[in-house]
Structure 1
Amino acid sequence: MRRIRGWLPYVLVLLAAAAGVGALAVRPAPGPAKQPLDYVVVAGAAGLRWDDLDPRLTPTLWAEASKGSVGWLSVRSGHRVTCPADGWLTLGAGNYAAWSTDRVPGQCPPLAPALTEPDNLGANLEQQRGIVQNNQTMPYGAVPGALAESVRCTVAVGPGAAIAAARPFGRVDRYEAELPADAKALLSSCVLSIVDLGTVAGAGEQRRAAVARADALLARVVAGRPDRSLIVVAGVGGTSSTSRLHVAMAEGEGWDGGWLTSAGTGREGYLQLVDLAPTVLTALGRQEPHGLFTGRSATTVPGRPAGLEDAVRGDHDADRRATAQRGVADEFFTALAAADLLLFLAAVPLMVRARRHAGPRGPAAPSRILLGALEVALIAVALAVPAALLADAAPWWRAGRPSLVFAAVTLLLTAVGTVAVRVAPRYPRTLWPIGAVALIGAVVVGADLLTGAQLQLNGVAGYSAAAGGRYAGVGSVGLGVFVTGMLVVAGCLAQYIRKPWRPVVMVLIGGIAVVMVGSPYLGADPAGAIAVTAGVCVAAAVSAGGWLTFPRFAWAAMAGLGVTIGFAVLDLRRPPAEQGSLGRVLTALADGTAGPSLQRAASANGLSLVDSPLTVLAIIGVLMLAFCQFSPWGGLNRLFGLHPALRAAGAGTTVAALIAGPLGGTALTVAGAAAAVAVPVAVLTALRVLDHAADRTRPEGESDGPGGPGIARDVGDTREDQPERASDGEGVTVESRGWRP
């Protein structure tokens, strides 16, 4: 029986690996394929947004959007600011391309490609060869002109269209500076036509005039469209350093209503600029060039409101919400990092005094009122991120001062959560605050995932679609909160059962986390699921007692590797168009084209490390935990000695967070979110353990308590469990019989 118990954690580690593979194996079935069309016309207007459209001022745009399928277009390119030239080049490359690497301080430069017309048919883009060479050295490995090379003939109307239609050596098959009066002959001469509707920039009357010109030109395109054709209208780029969401619509046979979406976004109503090139080829029934496109072909899904006004305005104005989110998110996490730092600095002297008071003779204990106020403040900052996630359910972004409204809603929700934790009858229990805060975080993120991750989309504690990083599932902040919550809750619950069965609790609750993070219907984050699996395996191996030894680490590593291999095998067996991120990376490694992917991941990690306020939160959290772990006054060793399952949860959370960030290209973002939730309540719990140390220490000459020499049982704490011997961090071994977490 003892031998079976000894093997139990390792068996459960394998079960966690199996759960991870099961979660990652299931993917949504692809929708029915559309019949190929004979022609595609792409009409682009850099800067065109949904708030530019009006049924009276832009009748053609409004009519096409009402008849066809619509969505929000993220115009991310190889340039940090997607100016019109970058957008048109990305359209033609089907990959994140950059026209220039020059910094854009405010407004984008005017679109001015160097075009020559050596004959009466086509044109040459003089800069194309140098641009192709420059993009080959960039992280994305884009090949400008890949779309034009995939069809026999391409028509371009206008300078922006010439950039998109130019082949890699610069030749534009057929070029017209302006659309002729009778456009049908021109648009029927090649299977793919690209029309530049102009650039929509500025504000007020200037912008309305540019939109009116684009609408009038589109009316001529619609009048001259060939039979059996698809018209795609897109705001192919931005005009300033502020990222926005732009217009995307497709109208034609099989594209007559609903939302646009793609496997690249996984979210109804959202497309990426890089999705347009594969959409063109799929509509024409052509094969994509191998390894050159990073986007996925667009499809249509039902569920769009009947009226266009209801679909893109009011509560559904995704561009307005995403724009407000990005500014408020930086302010929120910066303020949270400052609050954490101030509270940790305030906690240090109280921990020092509490530790000194642990001896039989020492200074007076810290004030009860001061300790109580600090505990409430630590609970509040730990609940700030879950409260911010819930605050995104309110339309704060529609207010005149969105940051103030968001702050007010978040503070209100934080206060409600703090009061709920504080007034609970179990509040005096040592582990109640950390367990309650973890449970709240896990429930908030889990409920959001079960309802489609609506709170995280364009949410302050989520991700912005305008940034072009993630559009569905769990974000890096949500992942940090969720894995922390699930593992800490598992660690707190495991304290109530006997040691041999603690891994069962860790695996059952951790397995739920793996399934929710990895499922394409919920978290849609295979890299995150692999990281969570590794964390669950470590927590399960350590929860039975002892430290993370090499055999336990080896078993945990094997389980994480097993999940990775299992998912990779399943993913590689799918068609290339249906493969996930891991399958694509492995395919690129096999054919020798993985260099740009690895360079891109390294670049994303470096950028996130420098730019994200969550990096500061992670650093502050690590420093405070180091103080609690290694200083004589920290108390973390004593806490883990008395509650080893909580130590296991901490180890698992650390492993999962440190793996998930780099795998997802977000560096320390996941770790920062985990630290924002876990570290304040960990400090609170350690402070409680230190503060009660004197209650368990007898002065010299008094009789020993039931726990052994010099140790008395904590008043009111009872638990029917086998005694555990744990170190308090100073080499003193303490019997834990009679302790309740």
Structure 2
Amino acid sequence: MLRRVTPVLLTLVVVVLAVVALTARPESDTPQRSADFVVVAGVAGLRWDDVDPQTTPTLWRMASQGSIGSLSVRSAHRPTCPVDGWLTLGAGGFAAWPGNRPVGSCPPVEIEVEQPDGIGANLPNQESVVLHNQEQLPWGTVPGALSESVRCSVAVGPGAAAAAARPFGRVDRYAPVLPADPAPLLGSCVLSIVDLGTVVGTEKATRAAAARAADAQLARVLAARPPRSLVLVAGVSDTEAPTRLHVAVADGPGWERGWLTSPTTGREGYLQLVDLAPTALTALGRPLPERPFLGRPAESLPGRPTDLAAAIAAPANADQEAAAQARVAGWFFTLLAGAQVLLALAVLPMLRRARRHAGPYGPEPVSGRIVAVTELLLVAAALAVPAALLASLVPWWRGEHAGVWFALTAVGLVVGGTALVRLAPGYPSTLGPLGAVAGLTTLTVGVDVFTGARLQLNGVAGYSALEGGRYAGLGTVGLGVFIAGALLAGGWLAQRVHRSWRPTVMVLVGGVAVVVVGSPYLGADSIGAIALTAGVSVAAAISAGGWLTVSRLAWATMAGLAVTIGFAVLDVRRPAAEQGSLGRFLSAVGDGTGGLTVHRSSTANLETLAGSPLTVLALAGALLVWFALLQPWGGLMRLFGIYPAIRAAMAGTAVAAVLGGVLGGAALDVAGAAAALVVPMAALASLRVLDHSTDRTLPDPAKLRDGGPAGDDPDGPTAPDGDGPTAPDGDGPTAPDGDGPDGPAAPDGRAGGGGASAGGAGGRGAGSGGPAVRSSTEVTTR
């Protein structure tokens, strides 16, 4: 009865932990109306390093009084050219101007504006722009949705006209330039959009001149602003590749001296260009359109430094770090993938020769020094991603040669971590390096998440604010290595306890990991938490030994479905502004726009699959495991037979990593990050198991003195290194030569017994070709 009830109880524990973690949300106030008028002043290309008291005195005073933030100008095209930025501003979603353009550049685009009546204007190309965004782009964005949500709007300048034009092309009030007295025009409608110009170029003098001209125009706007108005200044776009973070300033009642923050970023001081439209409507007290914006209303959070220079330094540094991260991340993961592939090729012949032969003939064993160096290289390869994450503790992005400084920092951290693992007390044992590396990785990512995920934001092994995908919590790479580290650490701990307690250990460790991943306070990744729940359930089901039977798979599937359904029911009941990704998707399905979400996810999966170095890591790791490690000579099946909890951890990692990547639109990136940790450790452990495949199982001296058989212990006789149980409990390999996998499942769900199992580095293990251990007085020797 206990054996039948245990899977049910463990499943319930995982489900409850996951649902509680996912549904707990920080309390947030609903944004209220704060202004009678809103003026949005846009400057294409304006960055925080263009702002200072001498060049832009008006903007400097405005920033000192109001709230500031770093603006991500993501649109439907990259880089976001000025016309794309203006369209995205007016649409409240990712939009783009139709037509082909050279990759990485922003050619000039003439926005045709007609003024038939001298009051408003008309954009004759607006219909084709709307059709292009609705039918050819995956976002389903409606250009002009912001203007459609108010009775009347004003546009000044051609860029502002592109933002303020309604879907049929009409601009309610239009002026090509600011009139001599802008007050009557700005006061004629509740919403005004003003094009202050463009800051372009790389030379400081050129940019300073353009910023000074825009600042002079801004001074005229502020002097003529209507009473009780909110003025938003935004660097609405890039002007060339690569993309950068831009200026965002809000000045008005309720926006004094704070950090601009949006629910779409969840990060203090960050917001997106798509957030400006809902922010303007919410400040005016107007309802959002029925077809919701992709952005959310921004708010002002306290805590900004009193000194404006110190406050501006934060977004300026973030822009500099994000730009350096974009340059460095690509070659880092490319080099990591190449290094791990080369290391895998070097390990293959060592696996072939690692197993000792009992007879006088056989291949010459590999030198012990070569094996020791290879093991250290495998540890270093597994620690590369955590080291890249920790590198953000050092401001490597400052200076001309950011890539060199990052490389030096990362290599130093890898060397330090490898030395720490090498000097750990359990390093000589078979699972010692695996447990140490998994523990270090889990600790590194976990501490970062608990302290605000500051190392992941704009970090090489994290995510970039320039990409517009994630700004807080766990990123794709962080999720992959955390899943692998947590489950391997759980498997290492579970292997050290009695087999009946192993599922409990896996559930406890995995449950904590689910909370860390899914909690909005921590990892904020509901899709990752659902995927990890399925992985933990699989790992707990087979951690005590035996195969993944239909009943065990059914319990694991039920746990994942229960978490998904439970969270979905609660999430979809929330207000639209508070829903998570799953709730928004279900709401989209309800209003008939769910197909766009599926299309976006599948498109993102295909793009990531084709262009990410992590795909190479995932595929190379899978090939190494399948065609080498899982072969009779590869050692991994032998490792799984002796250490079923490790097999469970690796199986759960594979399930969680693949599900998390595919459901999250990251293809194999999560699996690739997990493989960067799991595959080197699997190869190292396999080498050690094969090296001791001819060792003999030793009886327990204490039980010999007591006169009892060595097999009395529920886990069988243990080796001097204490790595885990041997074959008498059914966990060991079945074949007489010790190479086979677990035996067929017994009626109690355990693996069938076979020959004596192989030992760890301490000297225990099955005899290759020898008879099984029968009693405490019959010990096979060679």
Normalising by the residue count of structure 1, what TM-score does the alignment of the two structures yield? 0.95
State the 1:350 CA deviation.
0.6
Change (3 A) 1:100 1:242: farther
Runs of 4+ in 1 over 3 A off after TM superposition: 32-36, 355-361, 711-722, 728-732, 734-741
Cα deviation digits, residues 340-360 of structure 1 (max 9, x gap):
111111110010011363667
| Rounded Cα–Cα distance in structure 1 between residues aligned with 2:363 and 2:293 | 69
| Rounded Cα–Cα distance in structure 2 between residues aligned with 1:716 and 1:156 | 77
1:723 alignment partner in structure 2: 729
| Rounded Cα–Cα distance in structure 1 between residues aligned with 2:409 and 2:616 | 24
2:93 alignment partner in structure 1: 95
Within 5 Å, give how 1:656-675 maps onto structure 2: 656-675=656-675
Answer with 28-37 or 629-638: which moved more. Answer: 28-37
1:148 alignment partner in structure 2: 147
| Rounded Cα–Cα distance in structure 2 between residues aligned with 1:694 and 1:236 | 68
The one-letter code sitting in structure 2 at the alignment partner of 1:70 is I
State the 1:302 CA deviation.
1.2
The one-letter code sitting in structure 2 at the alignment partner of 1:735 is A
Kept after mapping to 2: 8 A contact 1:506/1:539? yes
| Rounded Cα–Cα distance in structure 1 between residues aligned with 2:578 and 2:353 | 60
1:592 alignment partner in structure 2: 592
Change (3 A) 1:519 1:726: same
State the 1:331 CA deviation.
1.3
Within 5 Å, give how 1:382-401 maps onto structure 2: 382-401=382-401
Kept after mapping to 2: 8 A contact 1:312/1:318? no
State the 1:605 CA deviation.
1.1
Structure having greater relative contact order (Cα 8 Å, sep ≥ 6) = 1
Kept after mapping to 2: 8 A contact 1:534/1:556? yes
Kept after mapping to 1: 8 A contact 2:517/2:526? yes
1:407 alignment partner in structure 2: 407
State the 1:11 CA deviation.
1.8
2:284 alignment partner in structure 1: 284
* 5+ residue gaps, structure 2: 699-708, 744-753, 765-782
Kept after mapping to 1: 8 A contact 2:278/2:293? yes
| Rounded Cα–Cα distance in structure 2 between residues aligned with 1:714 and 1:265 | 52
Kept after mapping to 2: 8 A contact 1:360/1:697? no
| Rounded Cα–Cα distance in structure 2 between residues aligned with 1:315 and 1:88 | 22
State the 1:106 CA deviation.
3.9
2:31 alignment partner in structure 1: 33
Cα deviation digits, residues 82-108 of structure 1 (max 9, x gap):
101111001111011111352433431
- SS class of match (1:290): coil
Kept after mapping to 1: 8 A contact 2:101/2:107? no
| Rounded Cα–Cα distance in structure 1 between residues aligned with 2:273 and 2:689 | 55
Change (3 A) 1:483 1:101: farther
| Rounded Cα–Cα distance in structure 2 between residues aligned with 1:737 and 1:606 | 43
1:254 alignment partner in structure 2: 254
1:163 alignment partner in structure 2: 162
2:300 alignment partner in structure 1: 300
1:233 alignment partner in structure 2: 233
Over the aligned positions, Cα root-mean-square deviation in angstroms equals 2.1
Change (3 A) 1:228 1:427: same
Normalising by the residue count of structure 2, what TM-score does the alignment of the two structures yield? 0.91
Task: State the identity %.
Answer: 58
1:68 alignment partner in structure 2: 66
The one-letter code sitting in structure 2 at the alignment partner of 1:107 is S
Change (3 A) 1:432 1:6: farther
- SS class of match (2:474): coil
- SS class of match (2:166): coil
- SS class of match (1:313): helix
State the 1:628 CA deviation.
3.4
The one-letter code sitting in structure 2 at the alignment partner of 1:269 is G
Answer with 546-555 or 509-518: which moved more. Answer: 546-555
Kept after mapping to 1: 8 A contact 2:694/2:758? no
| Rounded Cα–Cα distance in structure 1 between residues aligned with 2:718 and 2:513 | 36
2:120 alignment partner in structure 1: 122
1:516 alignment partner in structure 2: 516
Kept after mapping to 2: 8 A contact 1:38/1:228? yes
Change (3 A) 1:169 1:10: same
Task: Indicate which of 1, 4, 19 corresponds to 2:2.
Answer: 4
Task: Indicate which of 728, 734, 737 corresponds to 2:755.
Answer: 734
Kept after mapping to 1: 8 A contact 2:49/2:316? no
Cα deviation digits, residues 574-595 of structure 1 (max 9, x gap):
1111111111100011121111
2:231 matches 1:221 = no
2:350 matches 1:350 = yes
| Rounded Cα–Cα distance in structure 1 between residues aligned with 2:350 and 2:551 | 39
| Rounded Cα–Cα distance in structure 1 between residues aligned with 2:593 and 2:124 | 28
Cα deviation digits, residues 124-162 of structure 1 (max 9, x gap):
111110010111121100000100000000000000000
Cα deviation digits, residues 474-497 of structure 1 (max 9, x gap):
001111111111110110111111
2:138 alignment partner in structure 1: 139
State the 1:111 CA deviation.
3.8
The one-letter code sitting in structure 1 at the alignment partner of 2:144 is G
| Rounded Cα–Cα distance in structure 1 between residues aligned with 2:632 and 2:436 | 28
Task: Indicate which of 49, 52, 55 corresponds to 2:50.
Answer: 52
Answer with 38-47 or 592-601: which moved more. Answer: 592-601
Cα deviation digits, residues 411-465 of structure 1 (max 9, x gap):
1111111011112222110001111101100000000000000000000010000
The one-letter code sitting in structure 1 at the alignment partner of 2:374 is L
2:780 alignment partner in structure 1: none
State the 1:619 CA deviation.
1.2
| Rounded Cα–Cα distance in structure 2 between residues aligned with 1:457 and 1:716 | 42
State the 1:729 CA deviation.
4.3
* 5+ residue gaps, structure 1: 699-704
2:641 alignment partner in structure 1: 641
The one-letter code sitting in structure 1 at the alignment partner of 2:380 is A
The one-letter code sitting in structure 2 at the alignment partner of 1:592 is G
- SS class of match (2:729): coil
State the 1:339 CA deviation.
1.0
- SS class of match (1:260): strand
Kept after mapping to 1: 8 A contact 2:79/2:104? no
| Rounded Cα–Cα distance in structure 1 between residues aligned with 2:724 and 2:558 | 35
Kept after mapping to 2: 8 A contact 1:725/1:734? no
Q: How many residues align?
A: 731
The one-letter code sitting in structure 2 at the alignment partner of 1:155 is V
| Rounded Cα–Cα distance in structure 2 between residues aligned with 1:696 and 1:129 | 80
Kept after mapping to 1: 8 A contact 2:693/2:759? no
Answer with 230-239 or 494-503: which moved more. Answer: 494-503
The one-letter code sitting in structure 2 at the alignment partner of 1:377 is L
- SS class of match (1:726): coil
Cα deviation digits, residues 21-79 of structure 1 (max 9, x gap):
00011101113634431100000011110001111111011111111101000011111
State the 1:548 CA deviation.
1.4
| Rounded Cα–Cα distance in structure 2 between residues aligned with 1:100 and 1:47 | 21
